[in-house]
Amino acid sequence: MKSKRGKKKSLKRAEETRKARLEQEAKRAAQEAASEKRAAASKAEAEEKEAAQAAEAKPENVEHTCREEADREARERARAEAEFDARLARHKDELQWLYCELYEGGQPWFDQLCRDLKNIALDRKESLCCQDRKREADPNWYKSNDILGMMMYVDCFAGNLQGVREKLDYVEECGVNYLHLMPLLESPEGRSDGGYAVSNFRRVQPELGTMEDLEQLADECRERGISLCLDFVMNHTSEDHEWARRARAGEREYMNRYYFYDNYDVPAEFEKTVPQVFPTTAPGNFTWLPDMNKFVMTTFYPYQWDLNYWNPVVLNEMIYNMLNLTNKGIDVIRIDAVPYIWKQLGTSCRNLPQVHTIVRMMRMICEIVCPGVLLLGEVVMEPEKVVPYFGTVEKPECHMLYNVTTMASTWHTVATGDARLLRRQMDIVNGLPKDYVFLNYLRCHDDIGWGLDYPWLRQFGIQEVPHKRFLSDFFTGKFPDSFARGELYNDDPASGDARQCGTTASLCGIEKAAYERDEAALDRAVRFDLTLHAYMLTQSGIPVIYSGDEIGQENDYTYHEDPKKWEDSRYLHRGAFRWDKAELRHTPGTIQEKIFDGLRTLEKIRGSHPVFDADAACRTVDTWDDSILGLIKEKDGEKLVALFNFSRYDKVAWVNEEDGMYRNLVTGQELEARGVQIPAFGSCWLMREQEKK
């Protein structure tokens, strides 16, 4: 019994112990829960306090950030304002003198111009201002031997501006760092003159994109180190331009921006001294407007109304239009038809002194507002009329001009096989100051005009009219044994004068040889294509390739089927870029691969030797063969002997430079520059480097 009672007591104590333990655990759990609750509450309170503090501090931080941003913008604006004031002070006396000389009583318009220039300069974004400062510190930045240009139509190359952005990798693969986009501002369909009849200087042609697209393209080009060039048509507007429409409506202010005449008396006096630009397709310099009962001056086409620069409002407004483009990021302004912009009765209305005054003012205005921007003048005339557009070293006008006469003389040499005229042209160019920079090219969007030095050619029995007819026959393939394929533009049967159209590849024989499947002729034609480009790359200045030439693109005859184009044979060389052909540039043995790789080899050589700089000393040299052109260039201890055979036969150039061994820059061969063998339509670059002491 005792044992049972003891067992019960033990069980009771165990139960009590268990209950006590459970109570303790419950109490401890409650304490822990309370502790956790207090901790959570404390944490929540801390977080709430921290959030409150952060909330209290946030406006202060935002305010601080905004204040910093405002301070930065204020500093940038103050710097830009100080820079503008300094640049204006540097040029103001001359600018004011020229302006008020051009416009009697023009001080109010000049004062307004200066105020507007300052606002435009202060609107220039910081990335452009930084580029301005960099280029201002290195004013010869565009004279480097590594500058390579390409000109193209946006729609032909890539459809629109966005398409061009997507194709910039290809542009860079071509080695291009200067990109000229042909006219892309708004112009009326069917009356656009290829974009040179502008109806709105502030809008892009809708199918090509918008001004925002243009600015984005310019920004990306700048990031890639590509300078962007755009045409600026100064001489005229489209008849659809707002000014023209308001003038047509009888608003006197806008009528004063053009040349209107109630009858033909004054126009008849102009016609006595003013040449016609397009005597067959657009004869005369005036157009009768039945709805206005007036004549309007139209130097080019009837739908392009000449602007009246006697009116200072016109000059100011056109300056603003130009600067709007530069503030979008355009690096080079190509001034179209610049010799024509000033009209005066009793003159030819070409190259008048007032034109040079305006261009000089434009140069100073760019140096004041956007010193990183260049002016490129389009002056398609004989050399003695082209060179003055550079201005003087002390008072410069255009930064660059097209080497039009050398281009035309080159194609004359292609047809005749006689390099004497080309040598004379090179001697003229080489005698100019090294500050003058030419854009050198073989082909462009336009035709080839035969503005050759006929007075000089006369000593060889060459007469202008018969010679022009020969050139027309040769480059259209009509002349016996001609290898060229092209078409005429603005043919005038009465005078025998005509202009020539066609791509480089078609004019130098590639199209004909490929069509006839003549492999030997095709090899010669490809060699000739590269020789012509090698000659262009040898010249002092900036070489510019026409888009498609880098792959040997041939003529595009489909324009004959397009009623909007078939009357303008220049569309023969304005065809769509052949991307299918461009893909073949990586296929060994194709025409595209031979030309593309050959050009890139020449371009890389040019970019790696200072002797190709624009300021290198250059002279012609006797080769004792009229079909071979010889050039010698020297700079920084380098001496280049460049030889070009324009004959369809293998030749020897007897240059006799007896100063040691030379190296062929393309093949690496070592040889003397004496009796140098050159294949038909071939060329060579021979380099001698002086030993460095």
Write down all domains in the chain, each with its CATH number in brackets: 236-306 (3.90.400.10), 614-689 (2.60.40.1180)
Residue from 587, 554, 597, 579 nearest 163 by CA: 579
Q: Give percent helix, percent strand, percent coil of the chain, each to the nearest 5.
A: 50, 20, 30
Backbone phi and psi for residue 310, each to the nearest 5 degrees, phi listed first: -70, -20
Q: Do the Cβ atoms of 598 and 552 come closer than 8 Å?
A: no
Catalytic residue among 378, 453, 549, 568: 378
For tokens 């086409």, what's the residue?
Answer: 301
Q: Degrees (nearest 5) of the Cα angle 446, 526, 159?
A: 45
Check: CB of residue 622 under 8 Å from CB of residue 630: yes
Q: From edge to edge, which strands make up the β-sheet containing 617-620?
A: 617-620, 628-635, 638-645, 683-689, 651-664, 670-678
Residue 465, both tokens: 């009219």
- Structure confidence at residue 1 (pLDDT): 43
625 catalytic per annotation: no
Entry pTM: 0.88
Give the Cβ contact number of residue 488 at 10 Å. Answer: 19
Closest to 481 measured CA to CA, from 367, 242, 648: 648
E-strand spans in 621-682? Answer: 628-635, 638-645, 651-664, 670-678
pLDDT of residue 68: 76
Q: Tell me, what's the pLDDT at 496?
A: 72
**DSSP letter, residue 691:** P
User: How far, in Å, CA of 578 to CA of 170, rounded?
Assistant: 13
Sign of CA dihedral 169, 171, 177, 180: negative
Question: What distance lies between CA 406 and its chain's CA centroid?
Answer: 20
Report residue 512 CA to chain centroid gap: 31
DSSP assignment of 183-228, as one string? --EE--TTSSGGGTS-SEEEEE-GGG--HHHHHHHHHHHHHTT-EE
Report how far residue 552's alpha carbon sits from residue 568's, in angstroms, rounded to the nearest whole number.
22
Q: How many residues does the chain have?
A: 693
| Short-list 686, 651, 685, CA closest to 672 | 686
Q: Which of 222, 156, 153 is nearest to 184 (CA)?
A: 153
What stretch of H or E contains 287?
A: strand 286-289
Q: For 223-273, how does the pLDDT look when each residue is reduced to its tens digit (9 = 90+)?
A: 999 999 999 999 999 999 999 999 999 999 999 999 999 999 999 999 999
Q: For residue 378, which of 338, 331, 322, 325 has the smallest C-alpha distance?
A: 338
Under a CB-based contact definition with an 8 Å cutoff, are residues 318 and 233 in contact?
A: no
Q: Is 336 a catalytic residue?
A: yes
The DSSP secondary structure of 530-553, one letter per residue, reads HHHHHHHHHSSSEEEEETTGGGT-
* Residues 53-97: tens digit of each pLDDT: 655 555 556 666 777 777 777 888 899 999 999 999 999 999 999
Which residue ranges in the chain fall short of pLDDT 70?
1-64, 494, 691-693
C-alpha to C-alpha distance for 150 and 381, rounded to whole angstroms: 22
Of the candidates 336, 447, 549, 603, the residue annotated as catalytic is 336
Strand, coil or helix: 610:
helix
d(CA 44, CA 46): 5
